[in-house]
Structure 1
């Protein structure tokens, strides 16, 4: 269901219908004079009408806000449309004649309302483009700290357990040695006692023998034995052998406290260091369309530092070159974060190769020109113009349907290095446009016409983005078309005096626009304002032959794909 104008916030992307009678199309434009919402078709009719041709017609987001209709409480038939400058209260035209406001200065309330809306919109932009993203950055940083703290604490726990296991092993080893010592002492004592026991046994045997002898002397039948015993000088029994009591060892328990054990196992200390405050990035001017994150801002600053030290070289040096087998020409190149690249030809073959040209994987697509790109997350996304969808390939090679483009046929695609937005060049029934999606696939901007309502594009078969947020399109209809980040036309480049059919396009860290011109076998270098700087020429050294695609890598090398199935890498900055 379509929403009314009062139901949506100023920057919302909901469907708002045209305000022209009996028209239910999507509203894209607004007449500031008659406060009328219009679709593209009704806007054209509005500007053709003699009565309204001089009206100020703008994109809907750039409209002047109409003040709410409020009736005056004193004069109910009148609308409140003025502001008393002295009393600072809104009133109707009839109130100006009352005694309370006689001689005061009055201002059109609509002007004041527009100023306030503009001020609040600026504050909203600050919130959306600075405070909220920075807060999200802080949340991400905190989440990273949480992960890091958990990792550190788990490491401490693991170390403590390992140390405890080591101490336990030492305790077991020492205990085993002491038990062995006890065993040896026991064995020695028992051996002594066993010797004493044997000595007593021998003495008892001696006594038994002596008893038997004495009994023999007392027998009447052996009286001669008694006579012999009487002749004996004395009767003497050997004394009981001397033995000694064993002295057992004494075990003295160790004197250990919990603190002693704690010392053995190390200790945990919290550094007496004052926590460092997180750095809050300073507020920067940002577009409502482009919202760079903290990481992206850092990358932008690094690129800015590089920009101060680089310039175009007077000579172009070939770094390396290789051929892509099985191709009928390298029509587009996308470099991924691993240093490998995706290349496509004119028949729908899309392959990933290493830097020697060896094929790593292959996908059959519906074909096109600049129809694939690598996102900030390292995923490859590519258009399917037959099914009117955009597909995503994750690093694990899973292909999923990412964005549906409805009735529009997607031709070209580019993932923003500034904020991850996705730019898609599309056509439908002799119409063409560039649509911006955020990284989750939500449509946030359409670029189709210039300030005069004329079509900007006819066949946007390559699209890219410059460092200043400009959207640069290589349109097969003889031009490179550049608009700013809000969609306003900046310039069109049509070559150097001859027929101009541009192909692949890219930009570099200096804001230069590089575009292939296959007819003259050159790559044109433009500055970010569209001024021609130089050409990469088909000399024997440079070796350019019918170039179709260009891109630059993180080391500021220029990659050129040619119809000869060759990819050549050049060093062109110094």
Structure 2
């Protein structure tokens, strides 16, 4: 009997992948079912035999993922050979069956401890689910709001500082302009005053010359030889010309203080407005969503129960093949609801081709995508694909209209997947030596980034292919890391699958309606089938089925498996569920 697969294995356990075997002695088949009474996994054949056996035909048998968790073994302190498996409702203590016959418990009512354990487990699982689906996402969202506010404040303050510098520079320019005008005015004033003084100087020069001439005239009049002149006329001297002194210019200093300058330049103040509380999503909304999701899961479970024949087939059957014109290598495959295919190439031209059910080419687009899962179909019938060179994501509608959908900034988008649960878009990206998975809503708004584990270590190396499981797990194939990395919908690392031997190079990856994970191993030319918790159930395709270099896989609504391979343009379709 195999050991149960843990939901969150450690790194060492993740490296030691094993098969989930049937719990029946000497049976080596895959244990897809579980008996809640025997607490052991069962294969399909043993399940049928279990139902026919008179001793076990009324046992409750469910799919393995719907199993009840077994009551932990605890020995009775009073009766060490007995297990504690009864709950005394009067004394409110767990006891063994022998304790129930003692006088201390006479006429007391008892409950099955395993039922109570199951209820408590479900209750605690519900509380744990609240952490994963409400408290943690909301807290991370609030933290993201704070980070966004911090970035906003930094940008705002940088803008304010730039405005202050510009205003100060403007004031400096005005000061320089006024100062220059004042200095020019002093030069004009000085020139005018000097011209006035020069004019006055000329007046006195002329008067001095006049006085020289008058002196000569007086000497002639006073000469004895010309005494007659003294009696003939009387000489008179003109008065000294009057001039005015210039009024001295006076500099009146400006009157201003630091506060005056501060008023001119303005100040930064905090508004008196009341701070708004950050909006926390009410628990009721999440609870309603959880109930809706649980209802959907329950409906899916009912459908699964109605189709008890829907399980792994004992063998894989080839259904049909498509030869896709316009491509040399079928690296990645996406299937529309109509059955039409989208197949991408990596042969220099990097073509993305759409074909009909007969393999006729309908569309061909040249992209920058290479050996990655860079396209996905949506529930609305659109195709989403990435452009690595332009760092953009595009949408193609059924009427063949191509529109730009998302810009990824500095990050190079590698892989993309459209959620079948809520229509979100999951994108695997790289930048330098970093890698992450980003979630966008249907409108193209970024709502989540997944990059590191709880220890701060990077989860991804190169998320070349990406998909989502029915429980919301995000599964990525990292070729260079040689691992399939799986996180839950909150971004917490669940497990990493590293194959079953020394060589493992994962490429295409997808999931099915039963929660299986299917991944291509390009190293061993195989396709591995994992359970929801990372346990290897089987190698469903290998070179024995003609498989070579499998690269792309996807499952359609009829549970058919499509496989694309390197070095051929053929897409092969298989039936592996029955």
TM-score of the aligned structures, taking structure 2 as reference length:
0.49
Answer 1 or 2: higher relative contact order, Cα 8 Å, separation at least 6: 2
The alignment's TM-score, normalised by the length of structure 1, stands at: 0.50
